[in-house]
Amino acid sequence: MRLIILEDASVVADWAARFVLQRITEFAPGPGRRFVLGLPTGGTPLGMYRRLIDFYKEGRVSFKYVTTFNMDEYVGLPRDHPESYHYYMWNEFFKHIDIDPAHAHVLDGNAPNLVAECKRFEDLIAEAGGVRLFIGGIGPDGHIAFNEPGSSLVSRTRVKTLAYDTLEANKRFFGNDISKVPRQALTVGVGTVMDAKEVMILITGVHKALALAKAVEEGVNHMWTVSAFQQHAQALFVCDEDATLELRVKTVKYFKALSGEHQKMIASVPVLQQHVLH
Amino acid sequence: MKAKSGLTRFHNCYILRNSKIIKEDLWIRDGKIVNPEQVFYVEQVEADVTVNCENSLIAPGFIDIQNNGGWGVDFSYDSENVEEGVQKVAKALLAHGVTSFCPTMVTSDKEKYSKILPRIQKHQGSQLGASILGVHLEGPFISLAKKGAHKDEYIQNPEKGLESIHEVYGSLDNVIIVTLAPELPGALEAIKGLTSLGIKVALGHSSASLAQGEEGIKCGANLITHLFNAMLPFHHRDPGLVGLLASTTEKQVYYGIISDGIHTHPAALRIACRTNPDGLILVSDAVAAQGLADGNYRIGPQSVNVENGRAYITGTKVLCGSTTALDECVKTLKEATDCSLEYALETASLHPAKALGIDHIKGKLNFGHDADFVIIHPKLMKVLSTWIAGECVYKSS
């Protein structure tokens, strides 16, 4: 596992976007050769999407041969509801780039058979040859996607009932009315993300500091589901200074000392060579 | 630039949507505005054609509900080549961003109505010209005291209500608005009759008190024709029709106003706009001299001299009507009232659509609406191109 500590949220956004740019460029996608990318929603990755849009507009990257899979979606929320993840992905990313709509996959929380929808999603990932890079954010309680505390660390895509804390945290997006917050969501499992060749987790802000400490410094624990990625061969945590506040000084110093190596990851060092860097 | 049926995406543009100008693409197909998010997720297709708008502004097409003619054509006078005349004006209006209009006939004798009215049919616009929403009949059921330029000999009362209306106009199939004076005998019955047929009634050319105006509104009228002109001036003990802007009638009253910088003083524009912002509708009230080059003309029964784009009765300094098209009126309104550009544009699009009850298909750039719009240079306010049902019908050179 690598921990990359950067100055603030905007540097994290830029770094993450450059990392995606590097991975896609290196892969050189084309007809019959698609780069498969897993994507999150929420406040943390917003800056990364904006940078990626800039890169696209500057002609530095194309998403024509990129296939995307989103992590999660609410159940029963209309697709064009401003809080739906379809809406988010369309407005914050998809409409600005050249992605092929047939290859931008978001779980359908309005599918008549939700279990079948989850199965379909897993099958699609498998058909696409697995996810090459999965990007995620985490919640203050250390959840990744909607894999809330106590979720199985080998879980697959499924329907989840949301914890009261999550409803409470999300009600601000639904007119402060907790009864309007969808109670269920479809989400990829921890196992689904673990299967990706590479995983990049973005963590910014003081309110995520405890979750980062639990994820990095303590053992693998289903109460902090993101800690599962300690066991991933190519996991990358990218955080800002604020998010390190609960880490030990030793931990921070150790990873900061490696920052020179980390910068190579967004330079044009071939991926295979990078994997032996640390 | 032609896109009648394919999925077309206008990008690098600002669009007027929900009363705000936002940086957003506009997607259209089969003459309608479509929701690109639905196209993306459900149909999973990309645009067939992409138009780079180079940061210009897209606004709903202008709707002129009062237009007497132009380019030498007078809708109330020329009874020989009616279709040709209407088409000529409809075509010329495209350059001014007008996508729909209501050809307007002023007070005329019965014979003119029977000759002209059946020949101005509601018509979907195209490259040949703006859509015709229906004819606006202004008079002859108006007040003699407030006749303005209308001819006395034809003015009459709608004593038998709708029956009188039918007697004069004949069939009402092609009619969308009737302007009448609510204080006349039989007028309230006529208003009820007309509105029950789905025809909008505008109050105007009238000496009505506020109470009489309110009666007219209660009976179904929802418009005032060229506010301030041809009505009692505002009086604090009886504000007359002008008072309808602030009266307590429950429904929204709309009012046409000519903001050509001549017919209505900027201060009067500001008074109207601040008192009842949602009701303001820009109308050109343009006459046959609109669009003519400087020179001497014979328009209908009148000799007209056009000088610097303004039409005077020959030998006098008497203006013989407005010659300013709606795009120019939008500019003038914005300058005179310092209102937002969004608002100024909506007074020529959304407001008339609402007044006519067609805002579910026109006057907005919302999903499902007709793809009638105008691409404007945001600084110069110049019309760059005009589109009807997704088809480019005018492009500035």
pLDDT(B356) > 90: yes
Beta bridge partners of B11: B52
Q: What is the pLDDT of residue B374?
A: 98
The fraction of chain A above a pLDDT of 70, given in percent, is 96
Active-site hit among A73, A117, A148, A198: A148
Q: HEC profile for chain A?
A: CEEEEECCHHHHHHHHHHHHHHHHHHHCCECCECEEEEECCCCCCHHHHHHHHHHHHCCCCCCCCEEEEECEEECCCCCCCCCCHHHHHHHHCHHHCCCCHHHEECCCCCCCCHHHHHHHHHHHHHHCCCCCEEEEEECCCCCECCECCCCCCCCCCEEEECCHHHHHHHHHHHCCCHHHCCCEEEECCHHHHHCCCEEEEEECCHHHHHHHHHHHHCCCCCCCHHHHHHHCCCEEEEEEHHHHCCCCHHHHHHHHCCHHHHHHHHCCCCHHHHCCCC
Q: Where are the alpha helices (DSSP H) in B79-206?
A: 82-93, 110-116, 162-169, 187-196
pLDDT digits (tens, 9 = 90+) for A89-143: 999 999 999 999 999 999 999 999 999 999 999 999 999 999 999 999 998 899 9
The Cα-based distances of B259 to A8, A181, B66, B150, B324 in angstroms read 53, 49, 13, 21, 9
List B64, B285, B359, B372, catalytic entry: B285
Q: Which two tokens stand for residue B83?
A: 């279709």
Q: How confident is the model at residue B2 (pLDDT cuts 50, 70, 90)?
A: very low
Whether residue B237 is annotated as binding a ligand: the answer is yes
Does residue B96 have a known ligand-binding role? no
Which structure tokens are listed for B347? 């007074």
* B359 flagged as catalytic: no
Cβ-Cβ contacts under 8 Å, B41 against chain A: 79, 86, 90, 101, 106
- Which range marks the domain in which residue A115 is found? 2-274
CB–CB contact A90 B45 (8 Å): no
Which pair of structure tokens corresponds to residue B123?
């018509």
**pLDDT, mean over chain B:** 93
CA A48 – CA A54 distance, rounded (Å):
10
Closest A-chain CA to B35: A80
Q: What stretch of H or E contains B346? A: helix B341-347
Residues of chain B above pLDDT 90, percent: 82
Query: Which of A86, A87, A101 shows the shortest C-beta gap to B46?
Result: A101
Q: Which residues of B touch A (CB under 8 A)?
A: 25, 35-41, 43-46
* pLDDT for the residue numbered B263: 83
Domains and CATH numbers, chain B: 8-60+364-395 (2.30.40.10), 62-355 (3.20.20.140)
Residue pointed to by tokens 């309005």: A110
B23-80 pLDDT, tens digit per residue, is: 999 999 999 999 999 999 999 999 999 999 999 999 999 999 999 999 989 999 888 8
For residue B150, say whether it is annotated as part of any ligand binding site: no
Nearest-angstrom CA–CA distance, A2 and A35: 22
Number of folded domains in chain A? Answer: 1
pLDDT average per 10 residues of sequence, chain A (278 residues):
95 96 95 97 95 96 98 95 95 97 97 98 98 94 92 96 85 90 96 97 97 96 96 96 97 94 79 58
Cβ(B203)–Cβ(B128) below 8 Å? no
Side-chain half-sphere exposure of B184, counting CA atoms within 13 A:
29
| Residue among A160, A147, A224, A238 at smallest CA distance from A193 | A147
Alpha-carbon span B179 to B162, nearest angstrom:
14
Q: Which residues of A touch B (CB under 8 A)?
A: 79-80, 86-87, 90-91, 94-95, 100-102, 104, 106
Q: How many other C-beta atoms can be found within 10 angstroms of the C-beta atom of residue B124?
A: 11
* Optimal mutation site among B7, B15, B22, B37, interface A, most CBs of chain A within 10 A: B37
Indicate which CATH number applies to the domain containing A244.
3.40.50.1360
**Annotated catalytic residue within A86, A143, A232, A262:** A143
Quote the pLDDT of residue B3.
Answer: 42
Q: Which of A1-5, B1-5, B343-347 has the lowest mean pLDDT?
A: B1-5
Does the annotation list B180 as a binding residue? no
Interface contact flag, B35 A80, Cβ < 8 Å: yes
Contacts of A91 in chain B (CB under 8 A): 37
Q: Cβ(A261)–Cβ(A277) under 8 Å?
A: yes
Cα→Cα distances B152→A196, B303, B316, B357, Å: 86, 20, 22, 32
Say which residues have a Cβ less than 8 Å from residue A273's Cβ, sequence separation at least 6.
Answer: none
- Supply the ipTM of this predicted assembly: 0.89
Tell whether the model's pLDDT for residue B347 goes beyond 90: yes
pLDDT band at B147 (very low <50, low <70, confident <90, very high): confident
**B2 to chain A, closest Cα gap in Å:** 23
- Mean pLDDT within B341-352: 98
Q: Which of A73, A86, A79, A40 shows the shortest CA–CA distance to A162? A: A73
What per-residue string of b and e applies to B187-210 under the rule 16 or more CB within 10 Å gives b? bbbbbbbbbeeebbbbbbbbbbbb
Residues in chain B within 8 Å Cβ distance of A102: 44
Partner-chain contact B43 A101, CB within 8 Å: yes
Selected catalytic residue, list A122, A141, A195, A198: A141
Question: A53, A90, A98: best mutation site toward chain B, by most B Cβ within 10 Å?
Answer: A90
Q: Are B343 and B211 in contact (CB under 8 A)?
A: no
Q: How high is the pLDDT of residue A271?
A: 62
